[in-house]
Amino acid sequence: MKSPIFEIYASLVCFVTIVCCSVWLGMGLYSLAGVLKPKITLDSWRYQRHQSNRQFQQPALGEPIFLGPPSAVEAYKPEPIENLSDKEITEQRLASYQLELQSEVRKNQQKLIKSLIAVFICLPLYFLHWRFLRLK
């Protein structure tokens, strides 16, 4: 005979694992879309920045990007592209856009792996506790 406390525990574990599985599956599906079509999940600012040479030439915020650990911070400012021809700017813009898309695919692959790991942890917990509930 099962105790009511054990039944409550097993029911709560089942409920929580279903909620977690639902959330992680949703995140995993979004990440899968980002792996297959990275243009869809690329954030608006980066996407719009690469749509024309004029937008690409505008400075981001005018602030330097800091690279490295806090103890050895090195400031990096992108080179100005004012002296380049339209063809060279277009080549740089398209190359930068490809790098952004590759970065987006990699980020979404990492998120997809995290989602799959979470789902594969939740499912055995759910089925184990569901089986405990079904025992009489």
Q: List, in sequence order, the alpha helices (H) in the chain.
A: 4-36, 38-41, 44-49, 53-57, 86-134
In this predicted structure, what is the pLDDT of residue 53? 83
Question: Can you give the residue ranges of every domain in the chain?
Answer: 4-58+82-134
Rg (CA), the chain: 24
Number of residues assigned to the chain? 136
Distance from C-alpha of 59 to C-alpha of 62, rounded to nearest angstrom:
6
In this predicted structure, what is the pLDDT of residue 55? 82
Question: Coil, strand, or helix at residue 90?
Answer: helix
> 133: burial class by Cβ within 10 Å (0-12, 13-18, 19+)?
middle
In this predicted structure, what is the pLDDT of residue 16? 95
pLDDT tens series, the chain, 136 aa: 578 899 999 999 999 999 999 999 999 999 999 999 999 999 888 888 888 888 887 765 555 555 566 665 555 455 555 677 888 888 888 998 999 999 999 999 999 999 999 999 999 999 999 998 888 5
Ramachandran angles phi, psi of 69, nearest 5° = -70, 160
